Structure 1
Amino acid sequence: MRRIESIFIHPSLMCAIALTAVAAPTAVAEQPYAGEIARWTAQDRLDPPEAGAILFIGSSSIRRWEQLTRDFDDYRVIQRGYGGCHFDHVNQYADEIVLPYKPSAIVVWAGANDLNSGQPADELVEDFEAFIEKVHGEQPGVEVFYLGVTSTIGNEASKDARDEANARISELCAQGERLHFIDLPSAFYDLGGPDDEAFSGMYVDDLHLNRKGYRFWTSLIRPNVEAVVKPNKAYQPNPDAPGAGASILFDFGPSNAEDGAHTTGADTNGNHWNNWHEAKGNVAVNAGEHLAGLVDSNGEPTGVGMVITGGFATNGVRNGGLAEPDADRLGDLAVATATQDFFFSSADDRWGGGNDDAGGGFMLTGLNPEGSYDFRFFGSRVDPSETRATEFRVFGSNRGKATLTTTGEGVGSDGAYAGNDGEIAEVSGISPDRFGQVFIDMTVVEGTYAYLNAMEMRVRSLGARDHDNNERGAHAAAREN
């Protein structure tokens, strides 16, 4: 029997907590998804997205698209997916998370949950029309791409309504200005059905795609987008980028006293840390959330930012974080406020495996494309019931990976402690892509959960790339899955 972690309750089902920096515009309990919307809008006010990006919005298949920013690495991307939403929820929050971005294009995946819940095609088409009226009524130049609702292993009951809705929306797009229907349904029908490996091999569960499925999605979606909206990302040199030998330290985890704490000021070694926004344990951190203004270990601004690409759950003090780290084993990462709490993921990209809803990934921006960077990851969670291991994959213009055993009987340095207290996963010599981006992905490779408590990124060198780690070129490595 699988042991169940104290995992997050999805914000659509509870009164999630907005960032303390900015109060939520309405009471969370009054609206579905209000906690998620409040976090995004609060972070947007602190770190406003640049106008002209491509907005990917919709339900869980947008939220779970962890490699989206890699698949569209040469576009400015805003990812706003909230699991379980219907098209009318997209319309409901258009004033908060659509129109303020002034996007050049919008890619919409919405309607699958509507139809699966028994909603007729008429209502979905009306919601689509309302969305177009809202967007083009205020921003007529926006290109809108609608992703046709595909068949899945678990939605055969909605086939008739799905086919009708797709046909009618496709016709509306053909007749309208700046409207584009991307015919995912035909491509998926061509794969066969649930009994065909070509079809079922695209899914991690009855409804959601695995990494192979998202590669297939990208092969269909990107050419359609690129035919209308050309790549719009340009490298912008970062005058504050950390120099050779500098390091950036990050403390992952919640900040409420019961579950964790931020690492503030200078630690006992004189180092300064970065922390995620204020958050309680058991509340999700979703794809598309972002943090600007990272500092180096001297407390100096770096111009480096972080964007969540695959969601996390959070936990810590009450659930087995490392409370007494040893500097002889962990060096600069041996700071209790950093090791006692953690982000965690349950994604393993396997049918019947973990819950890939929390994909576990993030990207760093503002780095020097000609630089070489070393990464050190520490993860730990005490639990003697099973051994757990995390694979950290790091992508830039080259790639690297390392595996860390975080949990299990006898894992500790003394053979008795049931958590990691002395091992660090290291990935060295990573060069950012041509836009100064690096992507980090976490995957469960043993047990049920992957953990990240603390991380150090150190600038190995600047001005000459280190290509020893299987250099593949900017696009090939960034899109490797």
Structure 2
Amino acid sequence: MFWYHEEVERLERKEVLPKGEKLRVLFYGSSSIRLWPNLEEDFSELDIINQGFGGSTLAACCWFFKRLVPQYKPDIIVFYGGDNDLGDGRHPEEVFIFFKEIMGLIKEFCGDIPVGFISVKPSFNREYLLNSIDYTNKIIGEEITDRYPNCQMIDVYTEMYAINKVSGELFESDGLHMTEVGYDIWRTAVKEQFLNRFISESFPIDKTPKI
């Protein structure tokens, strides 16, 4: 996985700031995470760390996990992967195996913290993979329900698929990377399906004005 090394080394050099009063949420995964515009502003009530790296597969996220995640001591992790694995010809079952591996890494190095897995998105560029994407989301979602009470599948697939059928406004010209309209769906889904649940249950946000 040498083609990732330059970007991984850049992320490794990112300063690890002392933990403040805000909850620390680490976003991890492929370019859909790395290119998220206004990520910190979208979740301004939280301390956001963006550790996405372009073109990464879920396999690569597992491989580089120990170099890019534990040192930040996150309270919560949100990650996206599997899209590029399927695009590279891997089967849904292989993505499922890597999902279980990264969940094991999170538990080993970060503890039993809340984890949000953003479902594999549908896109024009990978329309030929829709059946595989749908099946990947299905088997990972079932695994989360059965085995990971601290994890939530964040469903972006359903709304994006519905909009894709009538509009091309979710994607850039490459048919793969999202516009701000696409990220609006992601932001709302992360908040409503995941953060609102886990923060309100276990990690209340301190809304006291910071001086």
TM-score, normalized by the shorter chain, greater than 0.5: yes
Structure 1 residues 203 and 192: alpha-carbon distance in aligned structure 2, compared to 1, 3 A threshold: closer
Structure 1 residues 96 and 185: alpha-carbon distance in aligned structure 2, compared to 1, 3 A threshold: same
* Deviation digits for residues 194-215 of structure 1 (CA, Å, limit 9, x no counterpart): xx22xx1111230011112211
Structure 1 residues 34 and 233: alpha-carbon distance in aligned structure 2, compared to 1, 3 A threshold: farther
* Deviation digits for residues 235-278 of structure 1 (CA, Å, limit 9, x no counterpart): 544xxxxxxxxxxxxxxxxxxxxxxxxxxxxxxxxxxxxxxxxx
Q: Does 1:71 align with 2:66?
A: no
Contact kept, 8 Å, 2:160 with 2:182, in 1: the verdict is no
Match of 1:211 in 2: 180
Amino acid at match of 1:181: M
Match of 1:80 in 2: 51
Match of 1:190 in 2: 162
TM-superposed CA distance for 1:233, in Å, is 7.2
CA RMSD across the alignment = 1.9
Match of 1:274 in 2: none
Q: Aligned to 1:228, which of 198, 204, 209?
A: 198
Query: What are the within-5 Å matches in structure 2 for residues 452-467 of structure 1?
Result: none
* Deviation digits for residues 306-363 of structure 1 (CA, Å, limit 9, x no counterpart): xxxxxxxxxxxxxxxxxxxxxxxxxxxxxxxxxxxxxxxxxxxxxxxxxxxxxxxxxx
TM-superposed CA distance for 1:152, in Å, is 0.7
Query: What are the within-5 Å matches in structure 2 for residues 86-105 of structure 1?
Result: 86-105=57-76
- Structure 2: stretches of 5+ with no match in the other structure: none
Contact kept, 8 Å, 1:121 with 1:164, in 2: the verdict is yes
Amino acid at match of 2:162: D
Higher helix share: 2
Contact kept, 8 Å, 2:34 with 2:53, in 1: the verdict is yes
Contact kept, 8 Å, 2:171 with 2:177, in 1: the verdict is yes
- Helix, strand or coil at the partner of 2:27: strand
Amino acid at match of 2:81: A
TM-superposed CA distance for 1:40, in Å, is 2.3
* Deviation digits for residues 122-173 of structure 1 (CA, Å, limit 9, x no counterpart): 1100000000111112333211111001111111111121111100110111
Structure 1 residues 181 and 232: alpha-carbon distance in aligned structure 2, compared to 1, 3 A threshold: farther
Q: Aligned to 2:130, which of 159, 162, 180?
A: 159
Structure 1 residues 113 and 234: alpha-carbon distance in aligned structure 2, compared to 1, 3 A threshold: farther
- Helix, strand or coil at the partner of 1:77: strand
Distance in structure 1 (CA, Å) of the matches to 2:105 and 2:56: 18
Structure 1 residues 99 and 210: alpha-carbon distance in aligned structure 2, compared to 1, 3 A threshold: same
Structure 1 residues 138 and 201: alpha-carbon distance in aligned structure 2, compared to 1, 3 A threshold: same
Match of 2:151 in 1: 179
Amino acid at match of 2:191: R
Higher strand share: 1
Distance in structure 2 (CA, Å) of the matches to 1:141 and 1:116: 31
TM-superposed CA distance for 1:177, in Å, is 2.4
Q: Does 1:135 align with 2:106?
A: yes
Match of 1:202 in 2: 170
Structure 1 residues 66 and 192: alpha-carbon distance in aligned structure 2, compared to 1, 3 A threshold: closer
Q: Aligned to 1:149, which of 87, 104, 120?
A: 120
Distance in structure 2 (CA, Å) of the matches to 1:232 and 1:124: 37
Contact kept, 8 Å, 1:118 with 1:158, in 2: the verdict is no
TM-superposed CA distance for 1:191, in Å, is 2.0
Query: What are the within-5 Å matches in structure 2 for residues 418-437 of structure 1?
Result: none
TM-superposed CA distance for 1:72, in Å, is 0.3
Contact kept, 8 Å, 2:156 with 2:185, in 1: the verdict is no
Contact kept, 8 Å, 1:60 with 1:83, in 2: the verdict is yes
Distance in structure 1 (CA, Å) of the matches to 2:206 and 2:9: 28
Amino acid at match of 2:41: R
Structure 1 residues 233 and 69: alpha-carbon distance in aligned structure 2, compared to 1, 3 A threshold: farther
Structure 1 residues 142 and 222: alpha-carbon distance in aligned structure 2, compared to 1, 3 A threshold: same
Distance in structure 2 (CA, Å) of the matches to 1:71 and 1:169: 26
Greater RCO, CA 8 A, separation 6+: 2
* Deviation digits for residues 418-468 of structure 1 (CA, Å, limit 9, x no counterpart): xxxxxxxxxxxxxxxxxxxxxxxxxxxxxxxxxxxxxxxxxxxxxxxxxxx
Contact kept, 8 Å, 1:75 with 1:232, in 2: the verdict is no
TM-superposed CA distance for 1:68, in Å, is 0.9
Distance in structure 1 (CA, Å) of the matches to 2:9 and 2:160: 35
